Amino acid sequence: MSLFSIFVVAALFLSLCDSFKGPHVICDVYPKDLYVEQNSSVEIVCQTSCSNNGKVFWTLNGIHISESLSKTINATHTVLSLRNFTQSSAAVQCHSSYGDQLLGGVTIRTYCKKKIFYILSISIACHSCHDITVFTCFFFFAAKPKNITCVLHYDVNKPNGVPKLFTCSWEHHMDSSQTNYTILNNSSVEICKSQGVNCTHNSTRLADDILDYMYFFNSYTIKVRAKTQYWETDSDPYVFDPHSITKINPPKNLKITPSSEHLSVKWDPDEPRCQVKYYKTSEPDKAPEVLWTNPSDFSISVFTIEEVESCINYNVSVRCASERGLWSEWSPEKTAFTKLSRSRIRMGLWRKVAELGKNGKRKVHLMWKGIPSTCREAFLVKQVAYNDNTTTGNYTYTSCGSSSCDVDVDHRSHRLYLTVSDSGALLDSVYVPAVGDASLPEVWSIKTTKSRMRGVIQVSWNVSEKPVSSYIIDWTHDGCRYFWKETTFTNATLFGLLHRTPYNITVTPLFNNISGHSIHANPFCSSMGVPEDIDVKVEEVDDKSAFVKWDIKSQNPCNDVDTYTIFYEAQGLQHNVSVSGSEDGVWLKDLKPNTHYNVRVQATGDNETNMSSKVHFITNKYDPRLIKALSICGGILVVLVLSIGLTCAVQWKKFNDKPVPNPRLSSVAKWLTQSHAKVEGFFQPTTDQIENQVVTGKTQRNRGAPLTPVRNGNDCDTSFSSLQENEPEERFSETSETQLLSSPEGSMVFSSSQSSPYRSQDTAEPLLEKPSKSDLGKKQEKTPMKSLYISLNMFEQSDVR
């Protein structure tokens, strides 16, 4: 019969009840406190007898449910169908739209099991309340307890023997907080009680005969009874073998002894079956290894764990079980640290040999890899020297650290042995050749190239002329930490190098575990990159151009820039120009005058870029070259004006400083008649007046005068003013008081004793006046033509210049 059919039957019963009620009717929702499987369907009935008016509607946790999910069966009953119900708990209520009346409600809870067994119990009761008969019908659905498990076990603080504790647990898909549970045996004897889904019987509190009786039987049956005030149900019988559910206590006295190859585990078992669990302490989330053991001696057990690594902490625990019983709990874990084992590591030993010093010693830097850094062992280096491939018998020991060691050797060949200090176990050895040993193999011409991948260097070299079994290539970037590997080829690829770091690389040939002479390569960069810091400066700014210069402040030698791109921006517009990586500056052209610009420089190379910070500048309003040209022209003009002014001033000063002719220093003279023309004459001063003089050429030269009036025959000096024959001749008055003086050379001079500003001209001035025509006529008849000369030597010979 389906659940809905049951609800219909219940509704009929309720209708029957309603026929006996009389005038008082009730409203309610049933079934109550549903416990259903998730994703199942639920149907709930609402009795609406108390509310004949108004429409019925449903709410789920206070939210209206769609009317399509509700179906009215008759005038007093409405059924709500909920499909695929998934909520863990929900309150469903029935309402009437008339006055928003609450008619009833129910709580639905879900569980995740696929199946559930129901027991349907129907009881019909009629009650009398205040002389009103009430007939109520109840429907209860209860599931059986199931999945029962039980165990017989011991008190941890007591020895094993007959178990003193019996514990069972089960599953029940009902509200266990309101349910009382009882464990009963097949004779319905109560073993223990509980209000939860587990129960433990302790023989110290109850009669011991229950557990004693149970333990000595091969089969035992129990059941679990669940009971509430409304219903009671029993589980299916649970049959078990007491020995198969017996669980002993964990092993005790666990002891772990580490060695170089394994871990030895010891414990005190009480049962023959045991398991050993171990795992690395550093990997707690990794599944542990579990090993089985069947000890032959039941009094004590020893087990060896072989698969362990060197120098690692392991956590170890053990559990045991009886022949047919359950496994005990794991014993408390103990931690053990393994020792170094040569067979479990990949040892690598190498050396770097320095040049022979003045003290005759060479420093050898011995280094190894493969030994875990967690190892606690101390190491020793044993030095064995060779003379002509024969050991000297003298050994030297040097204590070393955990990963390297420095020893001193002489010029002879040596072999260095690395051993464990406490056990003396040999780990590895390396050969150091003698200085200048020409019999050893040697490598020539090493070559390094950069790969396309970052942090990778490819190395190649020529084959040695002597037999070689393999090559050791080592590299370092700081001279302290070395890396090396062995290869049988004449080339190698080095991976995992630091970015933009120069490396020193060395190749050494090997033959029969004897190393030859090494060859070194020049420092080579693992990869190239752009500088991290680019300092940008604007050194020169014009109105339409600017010179931008940048400087690389990186000290890394592995810088390589393919191109520089200069980005400059103004007024929201961005421009760029690119130059080669060898440039360190560029002129930005076609800029706008009086404009603010932002400049950045981006370096690009080896698939990476780096951008500098912004630098600001403002272009000039005018071309500074024009201002400079105007300044230069103005300066030249000023200099020119000053030069001209200075020249004029000097000339003016010279003009002002020239001596003015003084008339008092002048003389008047005339030549004799034509009969005296052939006589050379010179103006001579009178004997009574030294001031009035006619200067001859000789006296003029003695005085140093600039000009001398001379007339020799028809020739006449150009420094004199002469009256030309075609001009009117000045004539002298015969009545003049001028006296004609005759010098011994025949020269004539006029002189006067009267005071006059002109020497020898006071009486001669009337003769210079133009005579009348009548006078001229007369004179022409009586006096022959004469020439008049005036001396220009009128400058004082004193301080006047």
pLDDT, tens digit, 9 for 90 and up, residues 297-313: 555 578 899 889 999 99
Contact of 245 with 152, CB cutoff 8 Å: yes
More confidently predicted of 466 and 673: 466
Contacts of 704 (CB under 8 A, 6+ apart): none
Tokens 């414990």 label which residue?
Answer: 267
Exposure string over 597-617, b if 16+ CB within 10 A, otherwise e: bebbbbbbbbeeebebeebeb
Among 209-223, 553-567, 706-720, name the one with the lowest average pLDDT: 706-720
**Are 39 and 68 members of one domain?**
yes
Exposure string over 552-581, b if 16+ CB within 10 A, otherwise e: beeeeebbbbeebebbbebeeeeeeeeeee
Domain stop point among 62, 89, 111? 111
Establish how many alpha carbons lie within 13 A of residue 482's alpha carbon, considering only the half-sphere containing its beta carbon: 25
Contact of 163 with 244, CB cutoff 8 Å: no
**Are 259 and 229 members of one domain?**
no
- Domain extent at residue 177: 146-246
Left if phi > 0, otherwise alpha if psi is -120 to 50, otherwise beta: which for 315? beta
More confidently predicted of 87 and 483: 483
Closest listed residue to residue 581, CA positions, set 529, 628, 541, 626:
529
**Are 160 and 241 members of one domain?**
yes
Over residues 232-252, the mean pLDDT reads 90
- Edge-to-edge strands, sheet with 70-74: 27-30, 40-48, 77-85, 70-74
Over residues 213-228, the mean pLDDT reads 85
- Res 498: pLDDT: 92
Whether the per-residue pLDDT at 545 is higher than 60: the answer is yes
Question: In 592-693, at which residue ranges do the beta strands (DSSP E only) sit?
Answer: 596-605, 608-611, 615-618, 668-670
- Res 368: pLDDT: 93
CA distance 603 to 611: 6
188 is a domain residue: yes
Q: What share of the chain is helix, strand, coil (3-state, %, to 5)?
A: 10, 45, 45
Over residues 56-68, the mean pLDDT reads 88
Average pLDDT taken over every residue of the chain: 77
Exposure string over 762-773, b if 16+ CB within 10 A, otherwise e: bbbeebeeebee
- Res 702: pLDDT: 43
Contact of 305 with 295, CB cutoff 8 Å: no
Alpha-carbon dihedral sign for residues 764, 769, 774, 780: positive
Question: In the structure encoding, which two tokens stand for residue 697, read together?
Answer: 């050429």
Count H helices, E strands: the chain? 6, 57
Residue 169 phi/psi, 5° resolution? Answer: -140, 160
Whether the per-residue pLDDT at 40 is higher than 50: the answer is yes
| Domains: count for the chain | 6
Whether the per-residue pLDDT at 433 is higher than 60: the answer is yes
The pLDDT > 90 percentage for the chain reads 32
Domain stop point among 290, 312, 338? 338
Closest listed residue to residue 531, CA positions, set 561, 562, 508, 486:
561
CA distance 29 to 9: 15
**Are 333 and 258 members of one domain?**
yes
63 is a domain residue: yes
48 burial level (CB within 10 Å; 0-12, 13-18, 19+): buried
pLDDT for 359-392, tens place per residue?
999 999 999 999 998 898 899 999 999 887 677 7
711 is a domain residue: no
Distances (CA, A) of 119 to 35, 112, 281, 332, 615: 13, 19, 54, 47, 88
**Are 500 and 562 members of one domain?**
no
156 is a domain residue: yes
- Res 748: pLDDT: 40
Contacts of 615 (CB under 8 A, 6+ apart): 536, 537, 538, 548, 598, 599, 600
The CATH number for 368's domain is 2.60.40.10
**Are 451 and 539 members of one domain?**
no
DSSP line for 358-423: TTS-EEEEEEEESS-TT----EEEEEEEEETTEEEEEEEEEEE-SSEEEEEE-SSEEEEEEEETTT
517 is a domain residue: yes
**Are 232 and 303 members of one domain?**
no
**Are 242 and 259 members of one domain?**
no
Contact of 665 with 795, CB cutoff 8 Å: yes
The pLDDT > 70 percentage for the chain reads 72
**Are 327 and 418 members of one domain?**
no
pLDDT for 722-776, tens place per residue?
333 444 444 333 333 333 333 434 434 444 444 444 444 444 444 444 444 444 4
Domain stop point among 510, 527, 544? 527
784 is a domain residue: no
Peptide bond into 288 cis (omega under 30): no
Question: In 282-389, at which residue ranges do the beta strands (DSSP E only) sit?
Answer: 289-293, 301-305, 313-321, 334-337, 348-353, 362-369, 379-387
- Res 349: pLDDT: 94
**Are 359 and 426 members of one domain?**
yes
Q: What is the pTM of this model?
A: 0.51
- Res 726: pLDDT: 40
Establish how many alpha carbons lie within 13 A of residue 795's alpha carbon, considering only the half-sphere containing its beta carbon: 13
